[in-house]
């Protein structure tokens, strides 16, 4: 689907001229360069990317498409996107781009998106500032040190929207406990990367990491999985906040129903 955007030796002059605009030009609405703007516009209506916050990135084989920094997310266009080749990133702190939008600024989320792609083989990573996510991290913080590093909820049907984990088959069960680790926020978003990676190592099966007082990163094998898990998670965060307001606990001991099928 995606044109090969890798640089060929001796080709730099031409690329400087064209800026590889062909990488973000397609009539296919499912092309990553078209999907990112349409997803971001949808996320804006959900309150996930308010005031240029948040972002999204899609990986197609070696090519990575990234929403830029500081753009009104509901107005983003394909021509606003950055594109890079994963295989060309020898120094993750000094990234090289195949395509940069004129006058654009790369997203500080970039190294976090790349972590999901390289450490988990993800095909899409979404970052939201959803205030439900922020409230969940604040509620955990209010529980005090030692109680604030992971969000846990079980016995809610929507939990079944999550895969069992990295390179595992199938989805979580209704009775399973969904665990989303929480990392502390840093002044510079790029500095979150090491902590995100630590959380990935400690919770190898998670598809999301909460950032205290900031938001959440969610990834998946492809756009469909990342987007629907992000939706399911936001649903659970909202539910969790409302449960807290109503004095209902997030973890419960619900017995398995005995059915005639014997399952």
Q: Is residue 169 involved in binding its own copies (CB under 8 A)?
A: no
Q: Per-residue contact track with its own copies, 39 to 68, x per CB under 8 A?
A: --------x--xxxx---------------
Q: Which of residues 90-109 bind its own copies (CB under 8 A)?
A: none
C-alpha to C-alpha distance for 164 and 78, rounded to whole angstroms: 33
Least CB distance from residue 229 to its own copies, whole Å?
A: 7
Closer of 60 and 189 to its own copies (Cβ): 189
Query: Was 175 annotated as part of a binding site?
Result: no
Q: Which residue has the tokens 């009104």?
A: 72
Active site residue 157: yes
Catalytic residue among 157, 194, 197, 198: 157
Closest CA to 56 of 122, 148, 6: 122
The answer to whether the CB of 238 falls within 8 A of the CB of 134 is no
- CB neighbours of residue 199 within 10 Å: 24
Least CB distance from residue 238 to its own copies, whole Å?
A: 6
C-alpha to C-alpha distance for 186 and 199, rounded to whole angstroms: 15
* Chosen residue from 156, 178, 209, 216 binding its own copies by CB under 8 A: 156
Burial 126-154 (b: 16+ CB within 10 A, else e): bbbbbbbbbbbbebbbeeeeeebbbbebb
Query: Was 224 annotated as part of a binding site?
Result: no
Closer of 125 and 156 to its own copies (Cβ): 156
Strand order in the sheet with 124-128: 82-85, 63-66, 55-60, 124-128, 215-220, 208-211, 177-183, 150-154
* Chosen residue from 188, 201, 251, 253 binding its own copies by CB under 8 A: 188
Closer of 47 and 165 to its own copies (Cβ): 47
Distances (CA, A) of 20 to 57, 76, 122, 165: 18, 18, 24, 36
DSSP letter, residue 140: H
* Chosen residue from 7, 95, 119, 175 binding its own copies by CB under 8 A: 175
- Choose one: 6-14, 60-68, 115-123, 233-241; the region binding its own copies (CB under 8 A): 233-241
Report the interface residues with its own copies, using CB under 8 A: 47, 50-53, 72, 129, 131, 134-135, 138-139, 142, 155-158, 161, 173-175, 184-188, 191, 194-195, 211, 213-215, 224, 227-232, 234-235, 238-239, 241-248, 254, 256-257, 259-261, 263
Catalytic residues: 157
């Amino acid at each position: 689907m995606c044109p090969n955007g890798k640089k060929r030796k001796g080709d730099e002059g031409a690329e400087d001229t064209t800026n590889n605009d062909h990488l973000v030009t397609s009539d296919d609405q499912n092309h990553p360069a078209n999907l990112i703007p349409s997803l971001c516009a949808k996320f804006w209506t959900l309150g996930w990317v308010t005031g240029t916050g948040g972002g999204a990135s899609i990986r197609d084989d070696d090519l990575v498409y990234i929403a830029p920094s500081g753009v009104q997310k509901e107005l983003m266009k394909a021509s606003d996107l950055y594109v890079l080749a994963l295989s060309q990133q020898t120094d993750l702190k000094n990234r090289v781009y195949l395509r940069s939008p004129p006058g654009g600024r790369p997203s500080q989320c970039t190294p976090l998106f790349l972590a999901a792609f390289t450490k988990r083989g993800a095909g899409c990573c979404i970052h939201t500032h959803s205030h439900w996510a922020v409230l969940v991290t604040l509620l955990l913080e209010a529980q005090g040190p030692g109680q604030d590093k992971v969000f846990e909820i079980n016995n809610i049907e929507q939990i079944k929207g999550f895969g069992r984990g990295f390179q595992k088959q199938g989805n979580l069960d209704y009775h399973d406990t969904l665990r989303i680790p929480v990392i502390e926020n840093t002044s510079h978003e790029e500095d979150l990367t090491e902590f995100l990676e630590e959380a990935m190592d400690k919770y190898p099966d998670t598809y999301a990491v909460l950032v205290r007082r900031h938001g959440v990163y969610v990834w998946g094998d492809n756009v469909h999985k990342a987007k629907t898990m992000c939706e399911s998670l936001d649903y659970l965060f909202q539910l969790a906040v409302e449960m807290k307001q109503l004095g209902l606990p997030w973890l419960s001991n619900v017995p398995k129903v005995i059915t005639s099928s014997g399952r």
